Chains A and B, each alone.
Chain A
Amino acid sequence: MNTESYRREFEEIFIQYFPKVRTFAAILLKSEQEAEDIAQDIFVKLWEQPDLWEGNLVRNYLYTMVKNHVFNRIKRKNIESKYINSRMNQLSLEEITEFKDPLNDIYVQELQLLLRLSLEQLPDKRRQIFEMSRFENLSNNEIAERLNLSVRTVEQHIYLVLKDLKKLFLIAFFFIKF
């Protein structure tokens, strides 16, 4: 293969896969700049390994590379605040999952994370009310007082959160069972 066709082949692979690699890193690291750096490093290295430039091989190679890069960056992030987990523990997941399943104990970490991320989707006010209620164990009256809202509004917010979460967990849970 001469240099020119070699370069063309690389460009084709680049155009096909570079956006995919960058997006994968960006959505996991939540940083466009880090993602761009990672993706460029990976493709600079790929240039030197033309024996990998074949359809499925290159796809899987790029996946492995980008995953490892992302994991390495995460490991370097020096993640803090392990104690937050314990606060979450106070929340009875049964309230949301509505059923007692032995598997819930096995997947308790997953369920907690799922709950946490679901809460992130909520509007700020609603999440705040729910966290006060369930994590800080404040009564609806106390919450209403602190936020200067009516008790009725607080109840309504909590009701809506529970409804959303139940729906989400139910879908997540049953999807696999049936």
Chain B
Amino acid sequence: MENYFNKIIELFVKSDVSTSSQDEFYRWLIGEKFSVEKEKALYGLWDNLKEGTPAETSTQTQQSLYDVQKKIKQRQPGANVRLIRFWQVSAAVLLIALLSALYFTSNKTLVNADLIEQYVPVAEMTRLTLPDGTEVQMNSTTTLLYPEQFTGESRSVYLLGEANFKVAKNEKQPFIVKSNDFQVTALGTEFNMKAYPGDSTLSAILLSGSVEVRFNNMASALILKPSEQFTYNRQTKEETISHPDLYDATAWQKGELVFKSTSLREIITVLERKYPYSFVYALNTLKDDKYTFRFKDKTSLQEVMDIIAEVSGHIRYRIEDDKCYILPL
């Protein structure tokens, strides 16, 4: 009887109807009965409506676009920099925090400087050189904000995500990477910094030179020696210093995936950045066991999941379209 539903909608849509018939139709449309059939018929209607092309854009649509752009501007007054995607934390608040941070560290000269935003989407990596010659390699789903010109007393950038910095030497102008809960100050040095908004821990590893790490609302500071890793837990506010394998810690730059006694949940968080799939699972499916894995560059998600499923022994997985379902065995 699907056709009854299609026919009703078709008849309603194609002609003018009296107010009472219109009400009758509305009552029927939003009624609970046969909602699946109605939904199907409605989707059919949607599906049959033509999509626009640039060539045949009407002036009406142009006007609407203009109106919408105006409304968008009104909603975010003065924001030249758009903070996108995973930045679900209040973008405006962070932007203000960042701007005031720049304001205070830069002797007021940076306030009007244009900020450049570099964003790396899921499953990609980017290398870029900052205006001062500092080389940055950015991991996936990472945002870096930096000014067009480094003026003022320090070179400040803002990081959300993970990146490796080879800082150009300039002792007069320290290089500062700021993040939500901590910041790293360097003179001329190479370090890796990880500060994803969703992660509970942040970390910085010094590869060469020396850096100062500030955390705990900038109240605490310590100096890292080469090959030391600083880890800060956002929740417990505890910091630790460790000596990880430098090769492993920077393996992401070569496209490799290295997990050292890591829980499945943490592994999935990393995989979600590395591969363009979203993971669907129930939290109680994943036990708290810790695993160590090492995957080469360009390993497909399927291969990764095959091995993880095999080793863990208590999960299976299924990849459908852009979703990876993880289910108990």
Chain A residues at the B interface, C-beta cutoff of 8 Å: 1-3, 6, 11-12, 14-20, 22-24, 27-28, 30, 36, 39-40, 43-44, 47, 50-51, 63, 66-67, 71, 74-75, 77, 79-82, 84-85, 103, 106-107, 109-111, 113-114, 116-118, 120-121, 168, 172-173, 175-176
Q: B13 touching A27 by the CB < 8 A rule?
A: yes
Shortest Cβ gap from A130 to chain B (Å)? 14
Instruction: Enumerate chain A residues within 8 angstroms of B51, measured Cβ to Cβ.
Output: 16-17, 19-20
Measured between alpha carbons, how far is A120 from B8 in the docked complex, in Å?
A: 12
B18 to chain A: closest residue by CB: A120
Report chain B residues within 8 Å CB of A23.
Answer: 49
A40 engages B15 (CB within 8 Å)? no
Q: Known contacts A20-B46, A30-B16, A30-B22; is A14 also within 8 Å of B68 by CB?
A: yes
Interchain nearest-CB distance for B20 vs A (Å): 6
Q: Are A16 and B23 in contact (CB under 8 A)?
A: no
Q: Is the CB of B4 within 8 A of A3?
A: no
A43-B68, A44-B68 known; A117 vs B52 contact (CB < 8 Å): no
Most chain B beta carbons < 10 A, residue from A20, A22, A106:
A20
Residues of B within 8 A of A (CB): 1-5, 7-8, 11-13, 15-18, 20-31, 33-34, 42-43, 45-46, 49-54, 57-58, 61, 64-65, 67-68, 71-72, 75, 80-82, 84-86, 116-117, 119, 121
Please judge, given known A-B contacts A74-B26, A176-B1, whether A121 and B52 are in contact too, CB under 8 Å.
Answer: no
CB distance from A76 to the nearest CB of B (A): 11
| A164–chain B nearest beta-carbon distance, Å | 12
Query: A20-B49, A50-B84, A63-B43 in contact; A114/B13 too (CB < 8 A)?
Result: no
Given A20-B49, A173-B3, is A1 in contact with B119 using a C-beta cutoff of 8 Å?
A: yes
Return A131 CB to nearest CB of chain B, in Å: 11
CB pair A40 B67 closer than 8 Å:
yes
Given that A3-B81, A109-B33 are contacting pairs, would A40 and B22 also be in contact in the complex, using a CB cutoff of 8 Å? no
Q: Which residues in A have their C-beta under 8 angstroms from that of B49?
A: 20, 23-24
Q: Which residues of B contact A11 (CB under 8 A)?
A: 65
- What residues on B are CB-neighbors of A74 within 8 Å? 26, 29-30
Indicate if the CB atoms of B53 and A16 lie closer than 8 Å. Answer: yes
Selected contact of B52 from candidates A16, A111, A173, CB within 8 Å: A16
> With A15-B54, A20-B49, A113-B8 in contact, do A44 and B71 touch (Cβ < 8 Å)?
yes
14 chain-A/chain-B pairs, Cβ below 8 angstroms: A3-B81, A15-B52, A18-B61, A18-B64, A20-B49, A20-B50, A24-B49, A79-B27, A84-B20, A84-B24, A113-B28, A114-B8, A117-B17, A121-B11
The chain B residue sitting closest to A176, CB to CB, is: B3
Question: Which residues on the B side are within 8 Å of A118 (C-beta)?
Answer: 11
Query: Is the beta-carbon distance between B25 and A113 smaller than 8 angstroms?
Result: yes
Chain B proximity of A126: nearest CB distance (Å): 15
Inter-chain contacts of A121 with B (CB < 8 A) = 11, 15
Contact of B20 among A24, A40, A81 (CB under 8 A): A81
Given contacts A2-B116, A84-B20, A84-B24, 9 further A-B contacts (CB under 8 A): A1-B119, A1-B121, A27-B45, A40-B71, A43-B68, A67-B42, A110-B34, A121-B15, A173-B4
